[in-house]
């Protein structure tokens, strides 16, 4: 006996027939999650002195070349991790949506 009111919304199905599409805010947040780390990786200077100069330009605080090199490395690792997480998030959502249909 089927207790669900519609044949489209079975208990094992994650999405119902009345599921709404993603909101503008959610799509915008997802886009920002891709754009900001990508832009940071593209625009990151290779020279530690350039990183130190940009850091001083935007914050008013001077750092050494070694500190700038560490800051550059930490930023590269953070942006790469965020992009990898965004890729995994997108793939998992696509796989789950295919499995639900």
Better-scored residue on pLDDT, 52 or 90: 52
Whether 10 maps to a domain, the answer reads no
pLDDT tens digit sequence for 79-96: 999 999 988 988 888 888
Whether 88 maps to a domain, the answer reads yes
The domain containing residue 58 runs over which residues? Answer: 24-100
Q: In this predicted structure, what is the pLDDT of residue 28?
A: 80
Contact 41, 76 (CB under 8 A): yes
Whether 17 maps to a domain, the answer reads no
Q: In this predicted structure, what is the pLDDT of residue 48?
A: 92
pLDDT tens digit sequence for 6-35: 555 555 555 555 556 678 787 787 888 888
Whether 59 maps to a domain, the answer reads yes
Whether 19 maps to a domain, the answer reads no
Q: In this predicted structure, what is the pLDDT of residue 33?
A: 81
Q: Report the number of distinct structural domains present in the chain.
A: 1
Whether 15 maps to a domain, the answer reads no
């Amino acid at each position: 006996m089927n207790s669900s009111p519609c044949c489209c919304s079975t208990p094992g199905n994650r999405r119902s027939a009345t599921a709404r599409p993603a909101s503008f805010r959610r799509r915008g947040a997802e886009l920002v999650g891709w754009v900001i780390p990508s832009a940071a990786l593209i625009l990151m200077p290779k020279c530690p002195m350039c990183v130190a100069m940009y850091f001083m330009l935007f914050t008013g605080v001077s750092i050494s070349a070694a500190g700038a090199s560490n800051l550059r490395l930490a930023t590269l690792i953070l942006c790469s991790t965020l992009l990898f997480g965004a890729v995994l998030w997108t793939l998992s959502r696509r796989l789950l949506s295919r499995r639900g249909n």
